[in-house]
Amino acid sequence: MNEHRHRHQPQHPLPADELPDHVTQDAVVVVPGIMGSTLRDTATGRHLWGIGGVSWLLKAWTTPSGLKSLAMTEDELAGKTGRIEAMGLLKHSAWTPYLAGSEPYTDLVDTIRTSVADDAAILEFPYDWRLPVAANGRLLADAARLHLTAWRRHPAHARARRHRTDQREGRLVFVAHSMGGLVTRAALDPGYDSDLQADTRGVITLGTPFQGSVKAAVILATGRGAPVPLPHRKLRAICATMPGLHDLLPQYRSLRAGDDVRHLTPGDVAAIGGSAELARDAARFHHGQRNITLPGHRSVVGVNQPTWQSLTISGGTVEAHLDGARQNSDGTFIRDRHDRVRYFRVHGDGTVYKESAVLTDVVTHLPLQHGDVAKAQTALEAVTEIVRDDINPGPPQGEAGCGLSAPDLVEAGRPWKLRLTDVDTLSGLTCHLTDLEAPARPTPLTLAWEDGTATATATAPAPGLYRIDVRTPDGFDITQLVMSAGPGEPVGEAEA
């Protein structure tokens, strides 16, 4: 079992009368998403994921043996874990096929640090995201309990309590990105720690796929049928028997079948290259999570980004769709005048469609991509308000900003296109492409109208990791990471 301990050197606490008014007496736990924890081999000490720069990423995804060690072993599938250890939260930009980019959590932790009485109030909880969410939830419950106990004994906790208007004892606030929200909900299962919910003041989820994501099914089907790039085939090989990935499969009625839309079955998952047993376990797990309450839950949800919502399966291949069926209040599907199921584009953050990320009515909608929803300034401002015990959930709707569609993998030296949706004018709209090996020299991209859509042509001159940055006239920043690889592998554009 991994040990999860505080990894920051504590600051010298300030006297109570010097603490800013916004400082909380609560303890904060930061829970990353899938691919958001660095991993290493416990026997050899070799880093397996998340340590290193762009050159490591290129080698990992574009060489046959790269990342092979992340595949689940028979022992791990049987519950005998410990071969791989989670070391810390991601501190470098990383790239994954289909999931595009994983941004570091440094800015999120630094932002939270401005709202607590001492660094000791913050627990960074890395975990082995390959394993079942349920198993990581139990580890998180244990770590959070130890963290809260230690924080309540810390001298800075007493100082912070005296400083606050409500001098109550400190409680827990979970800040969870993507899969981390599912891990947090599993940790708060009263069947494991019956007091953890009462000791939790709030849960902030950032782009959590509570109802799953179609991209998980697409990943399992990658490499079956038409030729696909090597990185995408490698991802499928890793995920085919990965419980954590199966826990992200859509749990809503997402599979189009004739004039009906139904749930994915274990047989469907096996037909596209996944594991029927793991799919069955995931469905059973999600069913058991439905009645778990997240205390003080507030969601930060990415919107306006074209996002897969439904799928069809034919001959073991998956076709993903940017629209999905919606239901009437009685549970029946909305149909047109010909009694055919109607499909609606709801959008989301490019990975999780909006309605899958929402559990309650207390939601902050922001026009952000999935990888940036825990890093963008607008998201950090929303987190800060909530950590500081401000119930203002932020902007109520996602009408601002724009949507960004771009390939996740491009060929170095070959032009490709990105497209912006929900754009009425190019005035005040800027777009740049930045090589993360040389971030001080971003390349401006020229936007023009093409078939009624704001479009820019870009070229990544060399293999590496690049960031697209779009700034809208209303002050929103939308970003996405793109991997540029050398010639030799088929490279296609992402679904638009």
Q: How many CB atoms lie within 10 A of CB 158?
A: 18
Per the DSSP assignment, residues forming a β-bridge with 111 are none
pLDDT in tens, 346-356: 999 999 999 99
pLDDT in tens, 154-172: 999 999 988 887 888 999 9
Query: Cα(46)–Cα(84) distance, rounded to whole angstroms?
Result: 10
Write out residues in the chain with pLDDT < 50, as ranges. 1-12, 14, 16, 393, 395-398, 492-496
Query: Cα(310)–Cα(253) distance, rounded to whole angstroms?
Result: 8
The 3 state secondary structure assigned to 10-66 is CCCCCCHHHCCCCCECCEEEEECCCCCEEEEECCCCCEEECCCCHHHHHHHHHCCCC
Query: Cα(51)–Cα(31) distance, rounded to whole angstroms?
Result: 18
Q: Where in the chain is CATH 3.40.50.1820?
A: 1-255+265-304+347-399
What sign results for the dihedral spanned by CA atoms 188, 190, 191, 194?
Answer: positive
Query: Cα(496)–Cα(481) distance, rounded to whole angstroms?
Result: 16
- How far is C-alpha 157 from the chain's CA centre? 31
- Write down the residue that tokens 């709801």 correspond to: 346
Q: Give, for 101, the enclosing helix (H) or strand (E).
A: strand 100-102
Query: Cα(166)–Cα(169) distance, rounded to whole angstroms?
Result: 9
Query: Cα(265)–Cα(315) distance, rounded to whole angstroms?
Result: 15
Return the amino acid letter for 89: L
* Buried b / exposed e along 281-313 (16+ C-beta atoms within 10 A): bbbebbeebeebebbbbbbbbbbbbbbbbbbeb
21 CB burial (10 A radius; 0-12, 13-18, 19+)? exposed
CATH value of 1-255+265-304+347-399 in 3.40.50.1820, 1.10.3720.10, 3.40.50.620, 3.10.450.50: 3.40.50.1820
223: nearest Cα among 406, 495, 496, 489: 489
Cβ pair 315, 225 in contact under 8 A: yes
Q: Where in the chain is CATH 2.60.40.10?
A: 403-485
Residues whose CB falls within 8 Å of the CB of residue 59, separated by 6 or more in sequence, listed in order:
66
Residue 354: what pLDDT?
Answer: 94
In the sheet that 453-458 helps form, which strands lie side by side, from edge to edge?
403-405, 416-421, 453-458, 447-450
Residues whose CB falls within 8 Å of the CB of residue 36, separated by 6 or more in sequence, listed in order:
89, 90, 102, 105, 126, 129, 177, 178, 179, 180
Three-class secondary structure of residue 229 per DSSP: coil
Q: Report DSSP letters for 367-415, one per residue.
A: ---GGGTTTSHHHHHHHHHHHTT------S---SS-EEE--SEEETT--
HSE-CB for 153 with a 13 A CA cutoff: 6
Cβ pair 202, 345 in contact under 8 A: no
Per the DSSP assignment, residues forming a β-bridge with 175 are 30, 204
The single-letter DSSP state of residue 247 is T
247 CB burial (10 A radius; 0-12, 13-18, 19+)? buried
Residue 225: what pLDDT?
Answer: 53
Residue 12: what pLDDT?
Answer: 46
Residue 63: what pLDDT?
Answer: 84
56 CB burial (10 A radius; 0-12, 13-18, 19+)? middle
CATH 1.10.10.10 fits 403-485, yes or no: no
Composition of the chain by helix, strand, coil, percent to 5: 25, 25, 50
Assigned token pair, 174:
């979970």
Where would I find the beta strands (DSSP E) of 197-303?
A: 200-206, 255-257, 260-262, 297-302
